[in-house]
Chain A
Amino acid sequence: MSIAEWLAKKAHIDIEPDKLDIPGDLQTKCLACGEVLFRKMLIENQKVCPHCNYHFRLTCSERLAFTTDADTFKEFNQNLESTNFLKFKDTQPYSQRIEQAQKRSGIKDAIITGIAEINGHKNVISIMDFGFMGGSMGSVVGEKFSLAVETAIKKKLPLISMSNSGGARMQEGIISLMQMAKTSAAIKQLADAGLFYISVLLDPTTGGTTASFAMLGDVHLSEPNALIGFAGKRVIEQTIRQKLPKYFQRAEFVQQHGMIDKIVHRHELKLTLGRLLEYAE
């Protein structure tokens, strides 16, 4: 094998978390470098690998804890839940998928919204959770996001959106597509009210979520190496019949093409948000 071949092969190894050997509850392995890490220390380090700087994905409660001032968050519309209005069923009914995701995550759908303070700056915040059905956007995500924007307008507060989503929720058919329009329209109203909107695009943010409210921020932030794009990598590879480089659709790549203002290390994210919010006061 030539060096070039070896590099090409190396560049396309995708790490599958399921296949990693995780020894018990106390320890875990870094998904990027494979180093064994103590869970407690990992959480203390905001789930960033101390060896290779890999940013683990967060649940929305972790994100909330790392980003907002303690005990300032007041949640909106906590109990909204989706229904299986199309009676959609793939290998299992949609209603069952929702139930399982709710049990696993402890939240009702892929987004939480509310009012919070970040380093003393009051704002309306929306946080998505990729762990809930791939953070997919259906009726509840669209509705809660729109209601949050409406509250921001009413209370004249800036908005922070932390998106983390694979795109539209197929199980809700066309209604999921309509959420793109609904959320984008909400952002237009926010802009017309003269309010500041910071969009943080987290790993991953793709499909209909990127092609709507996530790409409409006044300022776009991201974390290192976050996957941000419209079409899925596999779909593009099938279309152009070529393998894509590993850096494709990563935050650094997206920034080079003008779509991200700043890539921020997780340890700096709260501080950065606070500094930005100061300019809207």
Chain B
Amino acid sequence: MKEIIKKKRKKKNIMDFEKPLYELAYKIDELREGAKLHNIDLSKDIEKMENQVQELREQIYEHLKPHQIVKISRHIDRPTALDYIDLIFTDFIELHGDRLNSDDPSIIGGFAKIDSQKVMIIGHQKGRDLKGRKRRNNGMAQPGGYRKAGRLMKLAEKLSLPIITLVDTPGAYPGVEAEENGQAEAIARNLYEMSAITVPIITVITGEGGSGGALGLAFSNDVLMMRYSVYSTISPEGCAAILWDDPSQAPIAAKRLKITAEDLKKLDVIEDIIPEPLGGAHNDKVVTAQSMKRYLLKHLHKYQDMAPSAVAKNRYDRFRKFGSQNIKGL
């Protein structure tokens, strides 16, 4: 039986904290089959157990710890930018290349329509399976990715198209070539340019919002987070390794860094939390996409009648205030 559970778990990519739930559900299945086979009435017991499952489900998912949310945000089956583009947008025309020397597969972008509204959509792309994740570098972009994104944003501004960015990255790629090609400059340049772009920029953190690599696409008028996404200056593992000198302290770091949507909403760093199905977006991608679409339309609508210079000022002011209220003597 253990083996079967193992198999099931592998297939469904169950996370460790969900294990009791799936084990109980499996037991119920087994009981049901046994009852049928031997013609015994176990319906009362089964009902009782099913209630238990429901209770357990609520217990697990309603009180997720930050480090468990980190796990959901990184889930291999979590919808990617291309999934959301398929499910929310129409007429997507992908555009390629940074016009310098590369086309980074970790960041994708292009023209698309949401309902009838024309937009520029840009996002980290993690890959839909292990092979795809390898090819896409798990959404860890090279400088060329940020430069491609910057180029598309300038194009959107030229054509007066609102920009939507979908953020899902562990961070900008830490590699030799990335350093040689100016990873820091590429991110800094995006921040610099995005601060003054005159079309609205709406960002959704869909999974991992990893540090500068995330911010490089998230200098936006409105930043929204999926319920089970995280956004952080440093990964909990990295923080634990540096400050505790002990990576096993990551769950504590995850809690203290305040990286969940709920915490960041309280800190006024994001505008909205987008609901997801219980347990994570991977449990129902279509419902998740519908939920995201509602919020995108709502936030696009906010800026519909705003003058271009006011849009840029709104974004500048949003970021100018961060931190000021935490300073003594100001």
Chain A, residue nearest B325 (CB):
A85
One of A181, A192, A231 near B219 (C-beta < 8 A): A181
| A139-B191 in contact given A170-B233, A170-B234, A208-B212 (Cβ < 8 Å) | no
Cβ-based interface call for B211 (8 A): yes
Q: Which of A28-36, A65-73, A212-220, A272-280 contacts B (4 or more CB under 8 A)?
A: A212-220
Task: Please determine whether B319 and A181 come into contact, CB atoms closer than 8 angstroms.
Answer: yes
Cβ-based interface call for B328 (8 A): yes
One of A174, A185, A230 near B259 (C-beta < 8 A): A174
Cβ-based interface call for B96 (8 A): no
Task: Please determine whether A184 and B244 come into contact, CB atoms closer than 8 angstroms.
Answer: no
Q: Which chain A residues border B189 with CB–CB below 8 Å?
A: 215-216
| A143-B172 in contact given A184-B191, A211-B183, A229-B179 (Cβ < 8 Å) | no
Task: Please determine whether A173 and B324 come into contact, CB atoms closer than 8 angstroms.
Answer: no
Task: Please determine whether B174 and A185 come into contact, CB atoms closer than 8 angstroms.
Answer: no
Q: Residue-by-residue, is B164-179 near A (CB-CB < 8 Å gives 1, otherwise 0)?
A: 0000000011111011
Cβ-based interface call for B39 (8 A): no
CB within 8 Å of A: which B285-320 residues: 316, 319-320
- Please report the C-alpha to C-alpha distance between residue A86 and residue B66 in the assembled complex, in whole angstroms: 15
One of B173, B178, B269 near A174 (C-beta < 8 A): B269
| A230-B174 in contact given A188-B196, A211-B184 (Cβ < 8 Å) | yes
Task: Please determine whether B175 and A239 come into contact, CB atoms closer than 8 angstroms.
Answer: yes
CB within 8 Å of A: which B198-243 residues: 211-212, 215-216, 219, 231-234, 238-239, 242-243
Cβ-based interface call for A138 (8 A): yes
- Please report the C-alpha to C-alpha distance between residue A257 and residue B239 in the assembled complex, in whole angstroms: 30
Task: Please determine whether B323 and A83 come into contact, CB atoms closer than 8 angstroms.
Answer: no
One of A185, A230, A236, A244 near B316 (C-beta < 8 A): A185
Cβ-based interface call for A12 (8 A): no
Task: Please determine whether A185 and B195 come into contact, CB atoms closer than 8 angstroms.
Answer: yes
CB within 8 Å of B: which A44-97 residues: 77, 79-83, 85-86, 88-91
Number of contact residues on B: which range applies?
35 or more
Task: Please determine whether B323 and A185 come into contact, CB atoms closer than 8 angstroms.
Answer: no
Task: Please determine whether B323 and A138 come into contact, CB atoms closer than 8 angstroms.
Answer: yes
Cβ-based interface call for B59 (8 A): no
Cβ-based interface call for B58 (8 A): no
**Number of residues in A with C-beta < 8 Å to the partner?**
62
Task: Please determine whether A213 and B188 come into contact, CB atoms closer than 8 angstroms.
Answer: yes
- Please report the C-alpha to C-alpha distance between residue A175 and residue B173 in the assembled complex, in whole angstroms: 22
Cβ-based interface call for A148 (8 A): no
Rounded to whole Å, the gap between the CB of B153 and the closest CB of chain A is 14
User: Which of the listed residues B215, B233, B256, B259 has the most CB atoms from chain A within 10 Å of its own CB?
Assistant: B233
One of B183, B187, B193, B256 near A86 (C-beta < 8 A): B256
Given contacts A81-B327, A173-B256, A174-B258, 20 further A-B contacts (CB under 8 A): A81-B329, A91-B243, A139-B327, A168-B234, A170-B243, A174-B231, A175-B267, A177-B232, A178-B323, A181-B319, A182-B319, A185-B219, A185-B319, A185-B320, A211-B184, A232-B174, A240-B176, A248-B176, A249-B179, A259-B182
21 contacts between A and B (CB under 8 A): A80-B328, A80-B329, A82-B327, A90-B244, A140-B323, A172-B233, A174-B258, A180-B191, A181-B219, A182-B319, A182-B322, A182-B323, A184-B188, A207-B212, A211-B188, A213-B188, A215-B182, A216-B188, A236-B174, A240-B175, A259-B182
